[in-house]
Structure 1
């Protein structure tokens, strides 16, 4: 799976978000910092969504899903 990171300079800061996943956004004092913060934000959102899903839904079967 490939996602799109979008960036916008806003004053002294860089705003950053993942276009395909609402709620994954952050900022940084430099483009590099915004990029690293965005990776962290994506990891956190995926982790929280997984935890919420596990609490709300009891799966009878699980498997790894690879999207190419």
Structure 2
């Protein structure tokens, strides 16, 4: 799976977040560490068990790959 990451160097830190998974964000000293932290955050979020109340259902929704434009 691919997720869009917005990253930026600010002084001595790299900051970033995943646009497609709100809540997954990180701050690290290097770009490589930042990208790994974002990967770990995405894995953790996607593996989180979601409690359901009686009557709720879990569905998977297929969404076609978008054509992302990187500038």
- TM-score between the two structures when normalised by the length of structure 2: 0.68
Instruction: Give the total of aligned pairs.
Output: 62
Higher fraction of helix:
1
Runs ≥4 residues deviating over 3 A: none
What residue in structure 1 maps to residue 11 of structure 2? Answer: 11
What residue in structure 2 maps to residue 42 of structure 1? Answer: 42
RMSD between superposed Cα atoms in Å: 2.4
Q: Within 1, Cα distance between the matches of 2:41 and 2:18?
A: 9
- TM-score between the two structures when normalised by the length of structure 1: 0.70
Q: Deviations over 1:1-51 (max 9, x none)?
A: 431111011221101111111101111100000011110011111112xx0
